[in-house]
């Protein structure tokens, strides 16, 4: 059986969408108590448990954590896809047994359960845990650092989401990104960074089979307040994962699949097709640019803009009654020659009106856009009409 066939038939379908919190993963953790060693590593600022899952019995100790930012849930779904894969008994048993014999993997599925519950980046005290590595002012930060100090891992996996604003100069979007964080302000290629680069090369080689030319690399400016930079500074190879946007996959169900394949490649469960030993190939991975928007309306006019301009619209995720809604907001107005949209519409100078017939302004929420002369509906809330 091919791995993608297995995945499409067996991914963890009890988790879906963007809103994932402890209420969603707790039943799964309960089910896995007989398969994995699960403990409570600590508690959030609001007293919610921080579960720690131990998998395998090998000498290579790896520590990973997801949802350090509460509204970044794609990698959490991928982690449970991975747990389900390891626990099944029908396929890839030799590869799984080799992994379990060689590795001991510790996972904190949701490091920021308070933020996950409210769907916010920050924790309950409005602190970004990924800027708290030095101060350790929050209970979640102290918990992660204690686990790190106690386990003394040989590799760390820092699992995140990235916004849909990233792409490359050639117009391709950045669907998955990685980073081997710097260990100092000079961005030296330390031994720990080198190992992380080599492992990223393996994953990139695998992902090129699924999303060719859509894998990116983050800027490696050093920030000692960031967890990855701190752990790398301490000599432990650390990899930043960033699960981004795949064309019209706003629920991030495809991207979770790509993170799953990345994990299989990382742990040699699936064959990597890239020369991971050549760290310079890591530097060939294109660096992310902020040059994408969800929707771009090209060459329109309005009462405020008699000369044709382009309008970039970006979705903002808002939690309402337990569900994530996507609100459309005007992000930028101008020529936008260096910007790309996942969906674009050319208006050839036609005049438009918004739902309220107000002038278009940056930051304004948009529910509908009409063509003035034809009164035709061009854009409607979450549905783009082409």
Q: What percent of the chain has pLDDT over 70?
A: 95
Is this structure's pTM higher than 0.85? Answer: yes
Q: Is the pLDDT of residue 255 over 60?
A: yes
Q: Tens of pLDDT along 30-83?
A: 999 999 999 999 999 999 999 999 999 999 999 999 999 999 999 999 999 999
Q: Is the pLDDT of residue 375 over 80?
A: no
User: Where do we find the tokens 């959490």?
Assistant: 76
What sign does the CA torsion over 206, 211, 212, 213 have? Answer: negative
CATH architecture of 292-384: Roll (2.30)
Domain ranges of the chain: 3-289, 292-384
Q: Tens of pLDDT along 303-327?
A: 777 789 999 999 999 999 999 999 9
pLDDT grade, residue 334 (50/70/90)?
A: very high
CATH of the structural domain 3-289, one choice from 3.40.50.150, 3.40.50.2300, 1.10.540.10, 3.40.630.10: 3.40.630.10
- Is 292-384 in the same CATH topology as 3-289? no
């Amino acid at each position: 059986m091919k791995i993608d066939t297995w995945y499409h038939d067996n991914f963890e379908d009890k988790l879906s969408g963007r809103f994932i919190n402890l209420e969603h993963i707790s039943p799964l953790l309960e089910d896995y108590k007989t398969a994995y060693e699960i403990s409570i590593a600590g508690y959030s600022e609001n007293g919610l448990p921080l579960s720690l899952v131990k998998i395998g019995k090998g000498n290579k100790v790896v520590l990973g954590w997801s949802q350090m930012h509460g509204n970044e849930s794609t990698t959490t779904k991928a982690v449970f896809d991975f747990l389900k894969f390891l626990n099944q008994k029908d396929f890839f048993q030799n590869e799984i047994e080799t992994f379990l014999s060689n590795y001991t993997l510790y996972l904190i599925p949701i490091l920021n359960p308070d933020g996950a519950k409210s769907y916010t980046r920050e924790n309950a005290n409005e602190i970004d845990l990924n800027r708290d590595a030095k101060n350790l002012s929050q209970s979640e930060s102290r918990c992660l650092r204690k686990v790190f100090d106690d386990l003394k891992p040989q590799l760390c996996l820092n699992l995140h989401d990235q916004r849909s604003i990233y792409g490359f100069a050639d117009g391709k979007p950045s669907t998955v990104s990685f980073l081997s964080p710097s260990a100092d302000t000079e961005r030296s290629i330390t031994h720990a960074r080198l190992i992380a680069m080599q492992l990223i090369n393996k994953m990139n080689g695998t992902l090129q089979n699924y999303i060719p030319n859509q894998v990116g690399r983050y800027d490696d400016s050093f920030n000692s307040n960031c967890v990855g930079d701190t752990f790398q500074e301490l000599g432990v190879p650390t990899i930043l994962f960033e699960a981004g946007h795949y064309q019209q996959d706003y629920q991030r169900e495809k991207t979770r699949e790509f993170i799953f394949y990345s994990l299989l490649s990382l742990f040699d469960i699936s064959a990597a097709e890239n020369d991971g030993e050549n760290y310079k190939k890591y530097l060939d991975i294109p660096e992310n640019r902020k040059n994408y928007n969800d929707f771009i309306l090209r060459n329109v006019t309005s009462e405020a803009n008699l000369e044709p301009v382009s309008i970039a619209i970006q979705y903002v995720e808002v939690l309402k009654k337990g569900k994530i809604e996507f609100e459309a907001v005007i992000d930028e107005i101008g020529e936008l020659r260096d910007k790309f949209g996942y969906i674009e519409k050319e208006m050839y100078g036609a005049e438009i009106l918004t739902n309220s017939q107000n002038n278009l302004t940056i930051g304004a929420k948009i529910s509908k856009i009409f063509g003035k002369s034809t009164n035709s509906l061009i854009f409607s809330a979450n549905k783009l009409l082409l």
